[in-house]
Amino acid sequence: MKRKNIKSCLVVDLNFIGDMLMSSPVMRCLKQNGVERLDVIAYDFCVPILEANPYIDNVYPVITFWDKLIRLLWGRKQNYDLIMQLNTSLKTNILMCIAGGKDRLGYDYRNRGFLNTIRIPITQRTARKGNRVRECLDLLEKGLGWTCNNEEMIYDRDSSISSP
Amino acid sequence: MIVIHPSPARDYDKRRWDKFPELADRLIYRYGNVSFTGTEDQRDYVYGIRKKMKNVGKTIDRCGLDSIASLAKLIRDADLLITVNTLTMHLGVTLKVPTVAIIGGTAASVVAPLDSELFKYVENVDRINDITVDDVMEKVNEIPGF
């Protein structure tokens, strides 16, 4: 069943810089399906790639575990409709639980996703077998019932978003 | 302009290919100048490649560009990008620049679009140095206009 009424979303994308481009189509799909506020938590060295994605509203860079914890505690106050991560990290799932959110979406590898409200089973860790771009979009398709066909990666240097 | 990005971001030995000097010489012989890109930390590695070339005078060291935006602009203006599996490969695909990738360490099916006219690749997940210069040039020849 297609999920609607997701107006605010926080994506936790703690990957390396090349991976940011591979996950960029997710941001387009979220916006095209009605998300009005789209925030991303990522490592600070990835900010230049995220700032070139016009579909992202705010980028919150983190470096240490404590940065992540503080940012996600702050995230609790934002009361996001959806918080999601694009990998299978148990630590990130725990942090997402701390951040709350009406729903939390992620892949469920070896039950590491047990804290999420929408869990998509996966037999291998992410970025091991299937195409990474497709894998990221499949999370939205399988978790929310959306159709995400546009796999073109995004780097638009003319876009400007804030990185508070 | 041909841009070559020879170094992966981290010390991924499985992504390092040892035949860039010969490849760059072949490309210069056919097409003219070649620019090498990399971070400031990778400048020594690029120097090592250029040192082994016969036509080093027709190469430009563009390592240490001040931002990703500058790198993206350089890539966008290139006629051909040759790269290992790293950010520049993804930038080449995103910016629709003709790209030939030399992929090791990770399966190409994970990191690359397999059906793009402008993107070609050679892959050897475990033994990247088994890829020959002829293998790469064959892919260059498949790019429209080359």
- Compute, in degrees rounded to 10, the torsion defined by CA atoms A76, A8, A67, B9: 160
Give the model's pLDDT for residue A14. 92
Q: CA B50, CA B60: separation in Å to the nearest integer?
A: 9
Give the model's pLDDT for residue A161. 47
Q: Which residues contact B98 (CB under 8 A, 6 or more apart)?
A: B79, B80, B81, B92, B118, B119, B143, B144, B145, B146
CB-based contact A63:A33 (threshold 8 Å): no
Give the model's pLDDT for residue A159. 57
Contact A17 B9 (CB under 8 A): yes
Distance from CA of A79 to the nearest CA of B (A): 33
A120-147 pLDDT, tens digit per residue, is: 999 888 887 789 999 999 999 999 999 9
Q: CA A75, CA A105: separation in Å to the nearest integer?
A: 15
Q: Strand runs (DSSP E) across chain A, as ranges?
A: 8-12, 37-43, 58-62, 82-85, 103-109, 118-122
CA A157 to chain centre: 21
B106 contact residues in A (CB cutoff 8 A) = 127
A74-92 b/e (C-beta count within 10 Å ≥ 16 → b)? ebeeeebbbbbbbbbbeeb
Per-residue pLDDT band for A162 (boundaries 50, 70, 90) equals very low
Q: What is the ipTM of this complex?
A: 0.89
For testing contact with chain B, the best of A157, A158, A163 (most B CBs within 10 A): A157
Q: Give chain B's contact residues with A (Cβ, < 8 Å).
A: 9, 67-69, 72-73, 85-87, 89-91, 93-95, 106-107, 109-111, 113-114
DSSP-based three-state secondary structure for A23: helix
Checking if the pLDDT of B123 tops 70, the result is yes
A6-62 pLDDT, tens digit per residue, is: 999 999 999 999 999 999 999 999 999 999 999 999 999 999 999 999 999 999 999
B9 contact residues in A (CB cutoff 8 A) = 16-18
Give the model's pLDDT for residue B112. 87
Give the model's pLDDT for residue A157. 78
For testing contact with chain A, the best of B40, B65, B94 (most A CBs within 10 A): B94
Give the model's pLDDT for residue A1. 65
Checking if the pLDDT of B84 tops 80, the result is yes
Terminal-residue alpha carbon distance, chain B? 12
